[in-house]
Amino acid sequence: MTPVVPDPVLSVANLRVSFGQTEAVRGVTLAVARGETHCLVGESGCGKSVTALSVMNLLPRGIARTADHLRFQGQDLLGMSERQTARLRGDKMAMIFQEPMTSLNPAYTIGSQMSEVFERHRGATRRQAMDRAAELLARVGITAPGMRLGQYPHQLSGGLRQRVMIAMALMCDPELLIADEPTTALDVTVQAQILRLLQRLQQELGLALLLITHDLGVVARMAQRVSVMYAGEVIETGTVAEVFAAPTHPGMTRTGEPLGNIPGVVPRIPLGFIGCGFRDRCTLAMPECAQTVPLRNAGGDHFYLCRLPPDWKRAAAA
Amino acid sequence: MSAIVIVQSRPARRWLPAFRHLATMLGAVIIGAAVLVAIFAPYLTPHDPFAQDLNQRLIPPVWMEGSQPTHLLGTDQIGRDYLSRLIYGTRISMLIGVLTVITSGVIGITLGIIGGFYGGRTDDVVMFLITCRLSIPLILVALTVVALVGSSLAVVILTLGLLLWDRFAVVARTTAMQVRNLDYIAAAQAAGASRLHILLREVLPNIANHLVVVATLEMALAILLEAALSFLGLGVPPPLPSWGLMIAEAKEYMFFSPWVIMTPGVALFVLVLGINLLGDGLRDLLGADMRR
């Protein structure tokens, strides 16, 4: 059984990525629907960013991705040539990175970097592209866009730069926007503004937004659907309401104890590893956890990856 | 017993930046002047640099006894006006400097950027080529090539251009390595940029400041090497007025008419000094720019 998302913009099934002898992503399945925010949440090093980079085909040279399927708007991304993928990137699927301070090229003005994307994908003239860039800067809440277009990245603050990055990602009206921890590097007050902006744009433009974060507060505020990752796997997924109401995976909840106080660290998973990646830190681990773990349904769209039944907490309390 | 140690802080050396600034300006002025002189040589020369006059041999410059006001820097052993030859010599030196740097720059920067950006096997090949180049004795190979092919301005430029790319490659490679992992490269890829676009428009502008400095140093080196080759009789063929050739031709007269060897020597020294001063200044200026 797997979660069903109707009419997905992005659909990933059983994605696997390994770096040498370490498996970074182990069979991730997720789907993002049009007009929906899907949060990918998890500890550092659990494979969130690698999943995002795999979708964009931006993994480091020599690192391969495999999957049962990887579809964007019904097109198969796995069989695409580099040239075809490059045509989609920045056009129909765009990505925002974590570090706005270094994501803009210091050698060019904001306007030149923004219009380049539009010229490349739409064959527009510089003038048309500049108009479009000014329009989008205004849209992401930047005052005096005409002035900003002529400025260099070092003349802008971190919050402004992240707004520019967002505007740049939206230049070609993408269907899918992947945001990899877009607020982690920003001040707390700016974080809230950027999140509000992303939420507004997502609703106005009907974007499919794949938002990567490690902040459950952000998930609660932004997302309709959430996938929790641990050690390269999605250990729990569902609508935000379902998952937050009844977190079921033992890594998500331990009766009476707040999340985050689990002793130990995320393990490195070697190639050929079988079973539950969490078992070394789980108080409920059994010898059978070393075998392939089933994906269980906890009602509705809510799934989790554990041998325990959905009502194990009640049984444990009794 | 307690000792009171007065630590006197070193006085701030205020003159240093000012001196640097001055030196850079001086370099820029020298090079600017050399470029202008090279371009407008026909309008600046009082005489034809090739015209011989055996009645007017080895006339000393104006500040010496026996000079003539029509020959400001005197004449050489076959009566050609020395100032005119010196002015035309600027053309040769600048031409050699600029064209050699362009040739070697294109080769070195291409290799270096590709090796540094892609890394792995590609980088191994580039490193191997650089190592090979470094183990070639410059002057000897240049001499051999010129001796085999025959000497002409084009041959000298090509030979030097094909030999002097190593420093460009090393610097381009190291700086491209630093740039390739920066986020804006990934961001450009995520925006659908092609590989060529990333190398030329994202990487190159961000390492250009380092390359400009290398270019000045290589230019100075090329000019000196040409002079050395010409001095050995295997550079620019006579009667072209190359400074190195002028020095070579003058060496037989240096005891009785020392100015014939000193004049082109001083010119060479001043030009190379100017280029090096400008190069140093640029390195400081652009270095500060990078720290911003």
Q: Is the pLDDT of residue A258 over 50?
A: no
Q: Is the pLDDT of residue A105 over 70?
A: yes
Dihedral-angle region of residue B119 (phi above 0 means left; psi in -120 to 50 means alpha; beta otherwise) = left
What is the per-residue DSSP string for A69-127? EEEETTEESTT--HHHHHHHBTTTEEEE-S-TTTSS-TTS-HHHHHHHHHHHHH---HH
Whether residue B273 lies inside any domain: the answer is yes
pLDDT-derived band of residue A256, with 50, 70 and 90 as boundaries?
very low
Q: Report pLDDT digits (tens) over B77-91.
A: 777 888 888 888 888
Q: Between B13 and B83, whose confidence is greater?
A: B83
Q: Is the pLDDT of residue B292 over 60?
A: no
Closest B-chain CA to A103? B184
0.80 exceeded by pTM: no
Torsion A38-A42-A46-A49 (CA) sign: positive
Closest A-chain CA to B187? A103
B93: containing domain? 74-291
Specify the pLDDT at position B291.
40
Q: Report pLDDT digits (tens) over B207-248.
A: 888 898 889 889 888 888 888 888 887 778 778 888 888 888
Which of A89, A97, A105 to mutate against chain B (most B CBs within 10 Å)? A105
The chain-wide mean pLDDT, for chain B, equals 83
pLDDT-derived band of residue B290, with 50, 70 and 90 as boundaries?
very low
Q: Are A176 and A9 in contact (CB under 8 A)?
A: yes
Specify the pLDDT at position A2.
60
Q: How far off is chain A from B180, nearest CA to CA, in Å?
A: 11
Indicate the DSSP class of residue B251: G
Q: Report pLDDT digits (tens) over A184-224.
A: 888 888 888 889 999 999 998 989 999 998 888 888 888 99
Whether residue B255 lies inside any domain: the answer is yes
Q: Which residues of A touch B291 (CB under 8 A)?
A: none
Pairing label, strands A295-297, A303-305: antiparallel
Whether residue B114 lies inside any domain: the answer is yes
Q: Does B182 touch chain A (CB under 8 A)?
A: yes
Whether residue B55 lies inside any domain: the answer is no
Q: Nearest-CA neighbor of B93 among B238, B239, B241, B213?
A: B241
Dihedral-angle region of residue A35 (phi above 0 means left; psi in -120 to 50 means alpha; beta otherwise) = left
pLDDT-derived band of residue B14, with 50, 70 and 90 as boundaries?
low
Q: Are A210 and A35 in contact (CB under 8 A)?
A: no
Q: Between A157 and A314, whose confidence is greater?
A: A157
Specify the pLDDT at position A257.
46
- Counting the structural domains of chain B, the total is 1
Touching A: B residues 273-292, CB under 8 Å = 292
Q: Nearest-CA neighbor of A100 among A16, A161, A187?
A: A161
The H-or-E segment that residue B17 falls in is: helix B15-39
Q: Report pLDDT digits (tens) over B123-140.
A: 999 999 999 999 988 888
Q: Which residues of A touch B118 (CB under 8 A)?
A: 61
Whether residue B62 lies inside any domain: the answer is no
Q: Nearest-CA neighbor of A227 among A42, A24, A9, A36?
A: A42
Q: Are A46 and A232 in contact (CB under 8 A)?
A: yes
Q: Is the pLDDT of residue B104 over 90?
A: yes
| Amino acid, res. B266 | V
CB contact under 8 A, B206 and A105: yes
Q: Report pLDDT digits (tens) over B162-217.
A: 999 999 999 999 999 988 888 888 888 888 888 888 888 888 988 888 898 889 88
The Cα A208–Cα B194 span in angstroms is: 25
Q: Between A80 and A314, whose confidence is greater?
A: A80
**A87 closest CB neighbour out of B187, B188, B192:** B192
C-alpha angle with apex A24: A21 to A30, nearest 5 degrees?
Answer: 145
Q: Domains along chain A?
A: 1-92+174-318 (3.40.50.300), 103-171 (no CATH)
pLDDT-derived band of residue B2, with 50, 70 and 90 as boundaries?
low
Which of B184, B202, B203 to mutate against chain A (most A CBs within 10 Å)? B184
CB contact under 8 A, A90 and B205: no
Q: Give the pair of three-digit tokens for residue A95.
A: 């990505």
Whether residue B132 lies inside any domain: the answer is yes
The Cα A199–Cα B18 span in angstroms is: 54
Q: Between A40 and B46, whose confidence is greater?
A: A40
Q: Between B45 and B120, whose confidence is greater?
A: B120
CB contact under 8 A, B182 and A88: no
**B186 closest CB neighbour out of A58, A61, A168:** A58
CB contact under 8 A, A58 and B118: no
Whether residue B52 lies inside any domain: the answer is no
Q: What is the CATH number of the domain that holds B118?
A: 1.10.3720.10
| Amino acid, res. A216 | L
Whether residue B47 lies inside any domain: the answer is no
The chain-wide mean pLDDT, for chain A, equals 85
